[in-house]
Structure 1
Amino acid sequence: MEHVRTDLLVIGGGSGGLSVAAGAAQMGADVVLLEGHKMGGDCLNYGCVPSKALLASAKRAHSGQAVDFAAARDHVHEVIATIAPHDSVERFEGLGVRVIQDYGAFVSPTKVQAGSTRITARRIVIATGSSPLVPPIPGLDSVPYDTNETIFELREKPAHLLIIGGGPIGMEMAQAHRRLGCAVTVIEGAKALGKDDPEAAAVVLDALRAEGIAIEEDALASEIREQAGAIEIETKDGRVFKGSHLLLAVGRKPNIDRLNLNVAGIETTKAGIKVDASLKTSNRRVYAIGDVAGGLQFTHVAGYHAGIVIRSALFGLPAKAGTAHIPWATYTDPELAQVGLTEAEARERHGDRLDIARFDYAGNDRAIAEGKTMGFVKVMVVKGRPVGATIVGHQAGEHINLWALVLANKLKMSAVAGMVSPYPSLGEVNKRAAGAYFSPRLFASKGVKRVVGLVQRWLP
């Protein structure tokens, strides 16, 4: 048995864990990193990277290029292989991190066992991420199915892909496979893209239906079976859907089972490990970040959490994580992006104080020139300050960056209105949305007109 003492132990080599390990090591801390599976975690191997690579191949196919299904899968793995060295054991060892390729479990509040190594750490960061949730649907264990951890290994094109779950993962995979020549049916127990602004979600769903994707809502799966070589899904209301392949995309569960958290005095909830605003667990020497902390499940959130932990654990500085400025995007075509409050949330919180500023892509000259006029920008404003923004349309995931900056720095609409955008650019939709907020206040104001009239009479 080898005994190791370290300043910082990071459990999990996904996005958040790698960011903490790299930052801490380069700032002079002694760091040990545990990863029992693949470096890079879900994002690199099963999530953000492969899904966006597949969507890129599907977009080429949709534009008329001949794209073989197996070649699209090869592109996915080539992209992963290109990025993998950045997350590799070799790179992190080069940064001074000791990497142990094994799973870890607590044996005391400050000690973790990983294989034949016992690590004692001054501070510990749990960054073990999450895994696909497999719902307890009767009959599911009798049929073959995929999750995001296996779907990218398929090399033969599914004739008809059934997807249970109409969230971002389900809808992205639905469009990618449809554009690569598969029939696709999405089965959603409530509303597809139900966590997003309904008006914006409708734009995406209409576009996907127009491409031939069947999206069945209020369809709660009650039984799954295999009949004559086909997979059948029966819903609670008696509808039956048949297909050749099944993808589960119904959510995620925190990876905590191996950790032996009770020995360390670490409390959990159904969502994951319980943390405070500084991301500390009930064991004050242990932090939890990213998906396992039970909050927003996005790679960029894990990276944001890493910065909070570095400030707290390495420098002893007060640091708290917030969510009001965290953006997210669904990379369908058109894309759907959000930061801060949706319109419904803002109305509930702010009532009559809320103003809505809006601009449609159809009014943007670059969008007209490129035939990308579907969508809009909608900004929720309270006393001149944005509290949320929704964008649906071409490159919405890029355009939301501006509003994320605005919310993070508590800027006012005047800051965006005062920005000069190059013409013609799609990004001008944001400036025009800000202009739409001020226009009625300027052009419909009798006071403004009166002042202008007086000034004009007195000007030489």
Structure 2
Amino acid sequence: MKRIKTDLCIIGAGSGGLSVAAGAVQMGADVVLIEGHKMGGDCLNYGCVPSKALIAAGKAAHAMEAGDPFGVTAAAPKIDFNRAKAHVADVVKTIEPHDSVERFEGLGVNVIQEYGRFISPTEIQAGDTIIAARRFVIATGSSPLLPPIPGLDTVPYDTNETIFEQTKRPDHLLIIGGGPIGMEMAQAHRRLGCQVTVIEGGKALGKDDPEMAEIVLRNLKSEGIEIAEDALASEIRGAAGAIEVKTHDGRVFKGTHLLMAVGRKSNIERLDLEIAEIEVENNLIKVDAGLRTSNRKVYAIGDVASPLQFTHVAGYHAGIVIRSALTAMPAKARTYHIPWATYTDPELAQVGLTEAEAREKYGAKLEVLRFDFSGNDRLIADGKARGLIKVMVVKGKPVGASIAGPQAGELINTWALVIANGLKIGAVAAMVAPYPTVSEINKRVAGVYYSPRLFESNTVKRVVRAVQKWLP
């Protein structure tokens, strides 16, 4: 058995683990990185990257049918589903070197390609190597959650870990789960020529502002996607090419293929956390504000430690851990400033509090600023002037923003910056945006805060009239 002593040992080479490894080794630490599966983790191989590549293929197909308002004759796209999936594979392959063993070994990281498990509170075993470290970071991520639906084990099904490998187009794709993954895959597959039915036990896109979610859902339905809400799956039956999903209220949905997209579970089974005296709560590793576990030598980051299971959260956590573990400076993770986006068309994005959350917390102190995308000249020119932005403001300070519309995932960045830094609404109102751009939407909604104060105030009008009398 080989033994290694190191400054920092990281378990998991997904986005969070790779960020910690790259930052730590370049700052002078001795780093060991353990990964028993694929470098790059879920995001590169099964999540953010391939899903956005498939969405791009779907957009290209949809564009051929959407030219009529511009005087461009619509044409039914000839879709080669196999080539669309080849595009997905090419995108992953292009990004792979950035996350590769070779790159990280070139940086000076000792990469061990084995699964790791704790054998004591201060040691991990990976293959035939035992690693003792000053600090450990658990960054093992999450994987698809498979609920105990009777019959699921009797039919073929996909998850996000297998759907991108399917090169034959499904005739009719059934998707159980109406969250971001389910809705993104629904639209991408529909635009690539599949019939699609989404089966959701509660409300589709239920974690977002319902007014904003409805804008997105309305468009998905207009494209021919069937969305069944309050449809909790009770039984799955059939065989390849002929699958049925029965719900608790007696409805039966028939299709040829099945995608399970009901949520995620943290990857903790292999770690033997009890040996390391690490506590788990609700299937997540329990951490304090500094992301330390009950074992003070061990940190946990990303999906394995947070209900906010986003790649950018794992990257944010990595920065917190680097500061704490390498410099011994205090660092705490926050959540109120974390944005997220769903990359349907139109997109859906959120940062901070939703309107309902803000009303519950602040009551009458809350002002909700609204601006409809129909007032944006660039989107009018593009034929996409449909959407809405809402900004929740308390005493001049934004506490949340919700956006549904084109480029919502880009527009939300301004509000993420504002909320993270405690800026006031005037900071956005003072911004000069180039004309015509979609980003003017942010400035226009900020202007809504000042309109009644300037244009509906009798005091302002009296002052202006008085000043005019004194002007030469």
Distance in 2 separating the partners of 1:228 and 1:454:
80
1:416 to 421, 428, 436: 428
SS of structure 1 residue aligned to 2:409: helix
Distance in 2 separating the partners of 1:271 and 1:417:
43
CA spacing shift, 1:229–1:46, aligned 2, 3 Å: closer
Distance in 2 separating the partners of 1:213 and 1:75:
24
Which AA in structure 2 matches 1:306?
Answer: A
Distance in 1 separating the partners of 2:20 and 2:419:
25
Which AA in structure 1 matches 2:314?
Answer: A
Alignment of 1:32-431 (within 5 A): 32-64=32-64, 65-226=77-238, 229-431=241-443
Q: After superposition, what is the alpha-carbon deviation per residue over 1:109-130, rounded to whole angstroms, capped at 9, x for unaligned?
A: 1100001000000000000000
Distance in 2 separating the partners of 1:34 and 1:117:
11
SS of structure 2 residue aligned to 1:380: strand
SS of structure 2 residue aligned to 1:242: strand
SS of structure 1 residue aligned to 2:269: coil
Which AA in structure 2 matches 1:321?
Answer: A
Distance in 2 separating the partners of 1:309 and 1:384:
33
Distance in 1 separating the partners of 2:205 and 2:43:
21
SS of structure 2 residue aligned to 1:106: strand
| More moved, 16-25 vs 288-297 | 288-297
Distance in 2 separating the partners of 1:242 and 1:54:
24
Q: Give, in angstroms, the shift of residue 271 of structure 1.
A: 3.6
Which AA in structure 1 matches 2:27?
Answer: M
Which AA in structure 2 matches 1:26?
Answer: Q
Q: Give, in angstroms, the shift of residue 363 of structure 1.
A: 0.4
Q: Give, in angstroms, the shift of residue 174 of structure 1.
A: 0.1
SS of structure 1 residue aligned to 2:33: strand
Which AA in structure 2 matches 1:267?
Answer: E
1:439 to 441, 446, 451: 451
Distance in 2 separating the partners of 1:331 and 1:81:
22
After the TM superposition, which segments of 4 or more aligned residues of structure 1 sit over 6 Å from their partners? none
8 A contact 1:264–1:283 mirrored in 2: yes
Distance in 2 separating the partners of 1:228 and 1:200:
36
SS of structure 2 residue aligned to 1:258: helix
Q: How many residues align?
A: 460
SS of structure 1 residue aligned to 2:51: helix
8 A contact 1:358–1:437 mirrored in 2: no
TM-score of the superposed pair, with normalisation by structure 2: 0.97
2:71 alignment partner in structure 1 = none
Q: After superposition, what is the alpha-carbon deviation per residue over 1:284-329, rounded to whole angstroms, capped at 9, x for unaligned?
A: 1100000000320000000000000000000001100001111100
Q: After superposition, what is the alpha-carbon deviation per residue over 1:140-165, rounded to whole angstroms, capped at 9, x for unaligned?
A: 00000000000001111000000000
1:17 alignment partner in structure 2 = 17
Distance in 1 separating the partners of 2:243 and 2:229:
19
Q: After superposition, what is the alpha-carbon deviation per residue over 1:9-40, rounded to whole angstroms, capped at 9, x for unaligned?
A: 00000000000000000000000000000000
1:31 alignment partner in structure 2 = 31
8 A contact 1:271–1:295 mirrored in 2: no
CA spacing shift, 1:229–1:150, aligned 2, 3 Å: closer
SS of structure 2 residue aligned to 1:453: helix
8 A contact 1:254–1:294 mirrored in 2: no
8 A contact 1:380–1:389 mirrored in 2: yes
Q: Give, in angstroms, the shift of residue 434 of structure 1.
A: 0.3
Distance in 1 separating the partners of 2:428 and 2:461:
24
| More moved, 163-172 vs 67-76 | 67-76
SS of structure 2 residue aligned to 1:9: strand
Which AA in structure 2 matches 1:232?
Answer: E
CA spacing shift, 1:191–1:124, aligned 2, 3 Å: same
Which AA in structure 1 matches 2:260?
Answer: L
Distance in 2 separating the partners of 1:346 and 1:229:
47
TM-score of the superposed pair, with normalisation by structure 1: 0.99
CA spacing shift, 1:375–1:229, aligned 2, 3 Å: closer
8 A contact 1:268–1:274 mirrored in 2: yes
Q: After superposition, what is the alpha-carbon deviation per residue over 1:337-387, rounded to whole angstroms, capped at 9, x for unaligned?
A: 000000000000100000011111100110100011110111000000000
Q: Which runs of 5+ in 2 are unaligned?
A: 65-76
Q: Give, in angstroms, the shift of residue 447 of structure 1.
A: 1.1
Which AA in structure 2 matches 1:132?
Answer: P
Which AA in structure 2 matches 1:42?
Answer: D
SS of structure 2 residue aligned to 1:113: strand
Which AA in structure 2 matches 1:295?
Answer: P
Q: Give, in angstroms, the shift of residue 450 of structure 1.
A: 1.3
1:453 alignment partner in structure 2 = 465
Q: Give, in angstroms, the shift of residue 229 of structure 1.
A: 4.8
| More moved, 300-309 vs 435-444 | 435-444
Matched, 1:4 2:4: yes
| More moved, 79-88 vs 226-235 | 226-235
Distance in 1 separating the partners of 2:28 and 2:453:
54
Distance in 2 separating the partners of 1:292 and 1:66:
42
Q: Which runs of 5+ in 1 are unaligned?
A: none
Q: After superposition, what is the alpha-carbon deviation per residue over 1:35-65, rounded to whole angstroms, capped at 9, x for unaligned?
A: 0000000000000000000000000011115
Distance in 1 separating the partners of 2:441 and 2:241:
50
Distance in 1 separating the partners of 2:222 and 2:249:
25
SS of structure 2 residue aligned to 1:262: coil
Q: Give, in angstroms, the shift of residue 71 of structure 1.
A: 0.7
8 A contact 1:110–1:264 mirrored in 2: yes
Distance in 1 separating the partners of 2:239 and 2:91:
37
8 A contact 1:178–1:212 mirrored in 2: yes
